[in-house]
Structure 1
Amino acid sequence: MDPFFFLLLFSQILLCTAGDTINSTTPLSGSQKIVSQGNKFAVGFYSPSQSNTTSSTSSNYYIAIWYSNIPLLTTVWNTDVPVSDPATASLEIARDGNLVLLDQAKNRLLWSTNVSIASNSTIATIKDSGSLELTDASNASIVYWQSIDHPTNTWLPGGKLGLNKTTGLSQRLIPWKNSADPSPGLSSLELDPNGTTQYFIQWNESINYWTSGPWNGNIFSLVPEMTANFRYDFQFVDNATESYFYYSMKDDAVISRFIMDVTGQIKQLTWVEYSQQWILFWSQPRRQCEVYALCGAYGSCSEAALPYCNCVKGFSQKVQSDWDLQDYSGGCRRNVPLQCQINSSSAQTKPDKFYTMAGVRLPDNARGAVGASLKECEQVCLKSCSCDAYTYNTTGCFIWSGDLVNLQEQYSGNGVGTLFLRLAASELQDPKKNKAVIIGAVVGGVAAILIILAVVFFFLYQKYRRDRTLRISKTAGGTLIAFRYSDLQHVTSNFSEKLGGGAFGSVFKGKLPDSTAIAVKRLDGFHQGEKQFRAEVSTIGTTQHVNLVRLLGFCSEGSRRLLVYEYMQKGSLEVQLFPGETTALSWAIRYQIALGTARGLNYLHEKCRDCIIHCDVKPDNILLDDSFVPKVSDFGLAKLLGRDFSRVLTTMRGTRGYLAPEWISGVPITAKADVFSYGMMLLEIISGRRNADHGEEGRSTFFPTLAASKLHEGDVQTLLDPRLKGDANPDELTRACKVACWCIQDDESTRPTMGQIVQILEGFLDVNMPPVPRSLRALGESPDVINFFSDLSSSQTSQTENSTTSQTHSATSGNSHFQSS
């Protein structure tokens, strides 16, 4: 690195953070700041728009102190004199030793500590207590001024809040005017200037709306929560020169502050590192609407919803921008002047009226008036242009002149009553006009309802004519829908969107009138009688399992035979598994698919009234829903096809690598044929490629042979789909490879049942190392034998012998190779 560049960079770092001290030669300007030695507080130029707790767009800057060790910018002290450009302003030590804020562009003094200093050699240091101290440069124990003695809206631990009896100086908390303007607001928290030991929250230095009660030696009498404190140490000092209260933290690691909020409440807040936010620990007054004049003149407070403040009827916000910043003190203004205010005697000018506000907290400063009835009280108010409202109750007539403050609607405390608010006549509707408006509204409403009903009826009729919805009848079982062929033509747009096809027919996507997506399978070359077809479909329709595709209905018209299934969003395992997909299925999803498929087949083999053999287990017939839950499809086709099944098997020889050897030998087919097909498919799930694949030179390779060999060598990781980059559970991978190799044994009696496969994959059964099937050993010696597994165009003698042997063993008997875990 260039030495000059390094020195320049280092000098910029020093300028941005110049230790913890300002002296006569190092003023603070622009983006510079000083940080306390413990990195707890910082001093610099701050703009309210920097804080994420305000919606302000103000560009003004102020000298401020903020927490340096928390990410949420939070000030604890500030000047209230704005600076438009901190680059042309500086906080520095003046010639008289005071700490001053100067506007260099206008050569103007903006702020000063303004204390008498014996020596002009001073420094300003920010402490870990959060106090900025002006001290003698040669003797730090001589403190001329410290910010903690002049709190703004925040009272920090160790700071005093009280009264200097000698000078009369009161240390009090004053909130910001709003979240964008740190100039003083109207509320304040201070010790009673009359000498008692209680604190008051005052509005406009005149009205007390909360008191702590006097200090009783341990706590303030009206703050009983202090007795349950575990975080703070409290102390009240009262002597001849001063009275003050201060607090400290029992644990210095806890960050806490006491503020006078813009809402007019005092709040104790604690920083929670875990949630990265300030948590309210205590506040007073407890109810927001107890803050005096919170909503300003003609503003009404309500705690039923946010915002708390709203203008009463006939009034609107005086300064909308202040209300947007939660500063409601400006109150509201009349929308329409009163008659007497415009000095009009025209006959066209109607006299003022009164708006009834029931159940409100009556405003302060009521004045008694002579009135023997409600009507007389109203006339008294109308005769005085300064009268804004009146009330009449059992104690007499009372009127209000001038601005109404401290209103609260939906109030149930002391001072509740009915207020009659004076408004211009145009603000209130004439009762006769109201009646006409109501009648008109009723007539218009009835007409609108009749029009809407007519439109709805028209669309319903059109929908009925268009859909005539699938005149549905129930089968004997009562669970399936019998569709008309024309209905299925309509919902599939004349079978235009093909999802796939196979030996049994083609599948098309459709959508029922209620927007339910369906898959319609059209069976090709099917000749079974309609009565027998309906009976068989009804039986299959009752076969339901979470891992079986649900049959919703069917169609049987003439020679047309169609089955309607639930639609699977992810399509078939075939589509999701093999290379070409941009994102490979994770091992967890593959294992879920393998286990779910085994559960579905086990249900067909062992849990149904009649054992259902699928006869065509392959990735095409395993469908996946939106969560990749596998569902076996086409599981009833073997049962439906009956005698035609052997004819379909001839075409099934084009399905490479899934048919068990016994199909060739001509022996009766058992459920173990599905087990063989499942094992071949499981190997493809593991490897992510087809069992019978072609190498780069066109040479055929047979993955089951490789799988059996690597399993015996203990190297199952090489069998895993390379797209997974080895990311698989080793135990599950080994277990799946063993299961697959047991499933593809030549002798069907040595293959496990689907129930055993489920238990092995779930980890409830241990499984021994499977032998390498003789057909695979032969394949290893002669790669050309792959044709047997590819097309079943020829048979092996050894396979025939194994198949014949299988007839002498129970296909579902227990096996010593699979033992309880």
Structure 2
Amino acid sequence: MSMSFALNAEPNTVWYNNRSLLQNTFPDDNFLMRIFLPHDIAVPSINDSIVPSFACGFFCAGSATSCDAYIFSIFFVYVSTDFSQRLRWPEIVWFANRDHPVGENATVQFTELGDLVLYDADGTLVWSTNTANKSVVSMNLTGSGNLVLLDRTNVEVWRSFDHPTDTLVISQTLQMGQKLVARTSSTNWTEGKLYLTESPSSLMASYVALKNGSLEVFTSFQETKAPDYHIQLPENSFGLEFARLDWDGHMRLYQWINYSAWVPSDIFDITDPCAYPLACGEYGICSHGQCSCPDVAIGQSGLFELVDAKGVNHGCFLTSSLTCGSARKTRFLAVPNVTHFNFVYNWTTNEDHCKLSCMDDCSCRASFFQHKDISSGFCFLAFNIFSMINFSAQSYSSNFSSSAFLKIQDSTHKSLLSKEKRAIVLVAGSLSFVTSVIVAVLIVLRRKRDEPLEDEYFIDQLPGLPTRFSFVDLKSATGDFSRKIGAGGFGSVFEGQIGDKHVAVKRLDSIGQGKREFLAEVQTIGSINHIHLVRLIGFCVEKTHRLLVYEYMPNGSLDKWIFQNHQADPLDWKTRLKIISDVAKALAYLHSDCRQTIAHLDIKPENILLDEVFTAKISDFGLAKLIDREQSSVMTRLRGRLGYLAPEWLTSVITEKVDVYSFGVVIMEILCSRRNLDYSQPEESCHLISMLQEKAKNNQLMDLIDPCFFDMELHMDDILRMMNLAMWCLQVDNNRRPSMSMVVKILEGTMDVETELDFDLQLYILVMTNICSCKLYGICC
């Protein structure tokens, strides 16, 4: 058997997504693929029948008959002898743009600088390996399905194995910190809510839910494993296997059997078919492996419908969807003998209070209550509904009792309760209210004595939290908070020592959050990890004390180095450019590479810290806002610092582009070594951005540069390029600003700065209005 599926390419090569590429000519399997291959495919001998191998190309993520959505991917492909070069039955093992499909005539370009880039047909940058100027000279698709970029010495500079999607192939290992993210459904390739990651001793499959701007992470199951996990092949295997985290939460091994079909089998040894988070899809109830909708389970009808009439395991949806602020009546559908697939209780309370807590929170979709005794139990508020489990005496203890209360909305204002039932509810409600008051009083009294036990339980149950320190420990570590190294609007920062770690302890002086909101923020900060983000080491939450423990940054904040303090030893151009690049990479990560877009909302030199070699890291996420990927913008109150606020803050409807505007201001401050707003200057010079506008019109940009910039003349072209980048970031229309991913490309030299900019007096007027509005809010200056 002869195969020639290896893909080799040299820089300066372009592939167009159209019918000029090799493709299947018989799309009877409801797919369409277009393959990058060198010249031809070796057809197998007549004895081989069907031969799978890896290929790289465009795969149709939509309808095969009229496909308008493609993903750049690596897949198994099959060549059969019944039709010459017939390609069939692909299985994708890696994709670059799962969330951003491209259309006809999109291009994959292996650039002259060694970057592999995907552009849509209109020229929009969709994806890149970010390997420009890294001495890449060739690209190769290996026999194991690994797409690699190589330098002149054949060292791998970039490889797809290091960026797994939802699949592992032979010889590929899931490394610490990497994750497999399942698809949304069997037909939807976008990232779903289920992922599998590695801990030091186990593989953990989890889902992530968004609640009030904070991440909730729940473990679905764990599988004890060896330190390195990879697919173990039988001795007679020919490598025709792969493992995939499927949309329903199953981790399956797929094997090509008898040269005819893929046969799946579960990798995890989980015998209960209901133990998976999407065993029956959203809202589905699983009972001994059989699925049903909640209303059917209690003998009603019309409240839910199947997502897919042909597959009940795909879940259910409400016929009358939940809407915040709707005039329609909201009520609970009580479903007895049902529990959540992975019950993580929020607190101990009574059933009525559990339900009331969900009813009062618009984003809550259901409350689950497990009885502890006659009057109390454990409550869990669900903000994302996964599969539920109908328990039985065979699988649960005889005294186990749990109910689900699903929030639904009636289509009319008419109550479904009779007058008699209403009377009963009123009486029960009164008793419940009295009980709740008594419980609340007891809780208050106990809090005065000590921290409540249920809060301790709550904290212990939260996954993903960094190390928790006691207040006494941090007081000792900072010498009774005697070594103050900084202060801001949210508190003071002290130098400290914990063991062999040099740390910075931030004491929040006037925090407006409760304990749960603070812990949710800590979870969010602790879940992100990037070389250019200051690492959160731990936290303290005791009574009214709220403290955060960060890594220590010996060179302090950027403002100390660019605002006159170090003019005897000013930063050189290389250092300034490195700081700009570091901040850009951090923001690009927050905006594009996290599960939710994270808008920092407080980018300024005081929040950019420098380590011993002047590597810049962003800090202080106190104002950060999480934006769901499905949202184009969010509405939030005005927050930030005067001079760094984008014009759209006046509408309170913002996107992550507000950070791009602030970044443009910071670039100018780094280049000019002065604050954006400096009222010690003459009136015509106090506002740096309005000066930038005037100097740009008169072609006098270099007049703004720091006079102490000793190596300015050696880098004038680069400095002007950075000033043009700053002006692009400062566009009044946020849609005309670049994304931070584009900014990184510009700094790496693979993109050019936009030159057709809208820079007129409107910017000055809006900024001035911004200042006035900001003063009215009383949060600036």
TM-score range, shorter chain: 0.3 to 0.5
**Structure with more relative contact order (C-alpha pairs < 8 Å, separation 6 or more):** 2
Larger radius of gyration: 1
- TM-score between the two structures when normalised by the length of structure 2: 0.37
Select the structure that is richer in helix.
1
